[in-house]
Amino acid sequence: MIQVDIYTARYCPYCTAAKGLLAKKGVKFTEIDVSGDAKGRSRMMARANGRMTVPQIFIGSVHVGGCEDLYELDRTGKLDEMLGDEAGREQDKSA
Protein backbone atom coordinates (compact mmCIF):
# COMPACT_ATOMS: atom_id res chain seq x y z
CA MET A 1 0.00 0.00 0.00
CA ILE A 2 1.37 3.42 -0.93
CA GLN A 3 1.93 5.96 1.85
CA VAL A 4 -0.23 9.09 1.57
CA ASP A 5 0.51 12.03 3.88
CA ILE A 6 -1.61 15.16 4.13
CA TYR A 7 -0.61 18.19 6.16
CA THR A 8 -3.69 20.00 7.42
CA ALA A 9 -5.00 22.69 9.74
CA ARG A 10 -8.22 22.80 11.70
CA TYR A 11 -11.16 24.56 10.08
CA CYS A 12 -9.56 24.42 6.62
CA PRO A 13 -12.22 23.73 3.98
CA TYR A 14 -9.60 22.74 1.41
CA CYS A 15 -8.15 20.20 3.83
CA THR A 16 -11.62 18.78 4.40
CA ALA A 17 -12.26 18.54 0.65
CA ALA A 18 -8.92 16.82 -0.02
CA LYS A 19 -9.45 14.31 2.79
CA GLY A 20 -12.97 13.69 1.49
CA LEU A 21 -11.71 12.83 -1.99
CA LEU A 22 -9.10 10.45 -0.61
CA ALA A 23 -11.68 8.84 1.69
CA LYS A 24 -14.15 8.48 -1.19
CA LYS A 25 -11.48 6.57 -3.08
CA GLY A 26 -10.90 4.35 -0.05
CA VAL A 27 -7.34 5.57 0.40
CA LYS A 28 -5.85 5.41 3.87
CA PHE A 29 -3.75 8.45 4.67
CA THR A 30 -1.78 9.94 7.50
CA GLU A 31 -3.02 13.35 8.57
CA ILE A 32 -0.47 15.70 10.08
CA ASP A 33 -2.22 18.65 11.72
CA VAL A 34 0.12 21.66 11.76
CA SER A 35 -2.35 24.02 13.46
CA GLY A 36 -0.35 25.93 16.04
CA ASP A 37 2.65 23.65 15.48
CA ALA A 38 5.52 25.82 14.26
CA LYS A 39 7.96 22.90 14.07
CA GLY A 40 5.45 20.76 12.21
CA ARG A 41 4.76 23.57 9.75
CA SER A 42 8.51 24.03 9.24
CA ARG A 43 8.87 20.32 8.45
CA MET A 44 5.95 20.59 6.04
CA MET A 45 7.48 23.62 4.31
CA ALA A 46 10.85 21.88 3.97
CA ARG A 47 9.20 18.84 2.46
CA ALA A 48 6.92 20.95 0.21
CA ASN A 49 9.72 23.10 -1.22
CA GLY A 50 8.72 26.17 0.78
CA ARG A 51 4.96 26.03 0.27
CA MET A 52 3.26 27.39 3.37
CA THR A 53 -0.43 26.74 2.72
CA VAL A 54 -2.44 23.69 3.71
CA PRO A 55 -3.20 21.12 2.66
CA GLN A 56 0.08 19.80 1.33
CA ILE A 57 -0.32 16.29 -0.01
CA PHE A 58 2.29 13.62 -0.67
CA ILE A 59 1.73 10.30 -2.40
CA GLY A 60 4.75 8.19 -1.66
CA SER A 61 7.70 10.50 -2.15
CA VAL A 62 5.85 12.67 -4.70
CA HIS A 63 4.65 16.11 -3.61
CA VAL A 64 1.20 16.43 -5.18
CA GLY A 65 0.57 19.97 -3.95
CA GLY A 66 -2.69 21.22 -2.52
CA CYS A 67 -6.37 20.44 -2.80
CA GLU A 68 -6.85 21.87 -6.29
CA ASP A 69 -3.83 19.91 -7.51
CA LEU A 70 -5.30 16.72 -6.05
CA TYR A 71 -8.66 17.29 -7.74
CA GLU A 72 -6.94 18.05 -11.05
CA LEU A 73 -5.07 14.76 -10.85
CA ASP A 74 -8.38 13.01 -10.20
CA ARG A 75 -10.10 14.81 -13.08
CA THR A 76 -7.39 13.70 -15.52
CA GLY A 77 -7.26 10.12 -14.21
CA LYS A 78 -3.68 10.49 -12.97
CA LEU A 79 -4.59 10.22 -9.30
CA ASP A 80 -5.66 6.60 -9.61
CA GLU A 81 -2.42 5.85 -11.46
CA MET A 82 -0.39 7.41 -8.65
CA LEU A 83 -2.35 5.52 -6.03
CA GLY A 84 -1.88 2.27 -7.90
CA ASP A 85 -4.31 -0.57 -7.39
CA GLU A 86 -5.38 0.73 -3.97
CA ALA A 87 -7.99 3.19 -5.28
CA GLY A 88 -9.27 0.86 -7.99
CA ARG A 89 -9.89 -2.01 -5.58
CA GLU A 90 -11.83 0.17 -3.17
CA GLN A 91 -13.95 1.68 -5.95
CA ASP A 92 -14.75 -1.82 -7.31
CA LYS A 93 -16.04 -2.87 -3.88
CA SER A 94 -18.49 0.02 -3.79
CA ALA A 95 -19.83 -0.58 -7.30
Which tens digits make up the pLDDT trace of 38-57?
A: 999 999 999 999 999 999 99
Q: Which strands sit side by side in the sheet containing 56-59, from one edge to the other?
A: 30-33, 4-8, 56-59, 62-65
Q: Give the number of domains in the chain.
A: 1
Q: Report yes or no: 84 and 62 within 8 Å, Cβ to Cβ.
A: no
Is there a domain that residue 94 lies in?
no
Is there a domain that residue 54 lies in?
yes
CATH code, domain carrying 81: 3.40.30.10
Print the domain residue range for 66.
Answer: 4-85
Give pLDDT, residue 86.
54
Low-confidence ranges of the chain (pLDDT < 50): 88-95
Give pLDDT, residue 85.
61
Is there a domain that residue 92 lies in?
no
Q: What is the pTM of this model?
A: 0.87
Is there a domain that residue 30 lies in?
yes
Give pLDDT, residue 72.
98
Is there a domain that residue 95 lies in?
no
